[in-house]
């Protein structure tokens, strides 16, 4: 197996994120790789199905700002430069695939709750990332 050069860590900014970040930091240090931190904010309109005739721009901007601040804290804690911290808006699987391809990533690291049965059939971000990417994917078990 060749060493990884550029790793993308997709986190959801919950209290579980450090479990994924700790694993990513270990791999970065082992391989001497570059680390990108990515968080995808889903569009506010998705939550409402686009049925509410309101301008949700201000709410979306607040969510984006909060995500950038939290990602910045993780970046500082784990030694990831600002230019390698990416907050974007969209569907998580699609955005992670897009960024990985644009940035020439050779490993994507995501958290996984290890769902089974119906929950697995309904899909998860980790499962969505796994199917459709051209590089390796590491799903870190969340405890």
Among candidate residues 4, 12, 1, the one with its CA nearest the CA of residue 92: 12
Q: Please tell me the predicted confidence (pLDDT) of residue 131.
A: 83
Decide if 138 contacts 124 (C-beta within 8 A). no
pLDDT of the residue at 20: 95
Q: What is the average pLDDT across 64-69? A: 94
Asked whether the beta carbons of 68 and 10 are under 8 A apart, the reply is no
Residue 134 DSSP class: S
Q: Is the pLDDT of residue 42 over 90?
A: no
Per-residue pLDDT, averaged over 66-87, amounts to 96
Residue 78 makes CB contacts below 8 A (sequence gap 6+) with: 21, 24, 25, 35, 37
Domains, the chain, with CATH or none: 6-141 (3.40.50.620)
What is the per-residue pLDDT for 44? 77
Q: Which residue has the higher pLDDT, 54 or 133?
A: 133
Q: For the residues 4-19, what does the mean pLDDT come to?
A: 94
Asked if pLDDT for residue 81 goes beyond 60, the answer is yes
Q: What pLDDT does residue 48 have?
A: 58
Of 111, 112, 108, nearest to 136 by C-alpha is 108
The pLDDT assigned to 128 comes to: 81
H or E element that contains 46: helix 44-48
Which residue do the tokens 């700002």 mark? 65
Is the pLDDT at 58 greater than 80, yes or no? yes
Amino acid 75: pLDDT: 96
* Confidence tier at 50 by pLDDT (50, 70, 90): low
> Rounded mean pLDDT of 61-90?
95
């Amino acid at each position: 197996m060749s060493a990884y050069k550029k790793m993308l860590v997709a986190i959801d900014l919950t209290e579980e994120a450090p479990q994924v970040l700790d694993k990513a930091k270990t791999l970065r240090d082992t391989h001497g790789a570059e680390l990108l931190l990515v968080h995808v904010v889903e569009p506010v309109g998705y939550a409402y199905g686009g049925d509410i005739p309101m301008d949700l721009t201000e709410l979306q901007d607040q969510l984006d700002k909060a995500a950038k601040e939290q990602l910045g804290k993780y970046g500082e804690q784990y030694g990831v430069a600002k230019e390698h911290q990416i907050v974007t808006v969209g569907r998580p699987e699609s955005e992670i695939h897009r960024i990985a391809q644009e940035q020439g990533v050779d490993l994507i690291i995501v958290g996984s709750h290890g769902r089974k049965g119906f929950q697995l059939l309904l899909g998860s971000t980790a499962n969505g990332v796994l199917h459709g990417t051209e590089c390796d994917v590491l799903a870190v078990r969340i405890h």
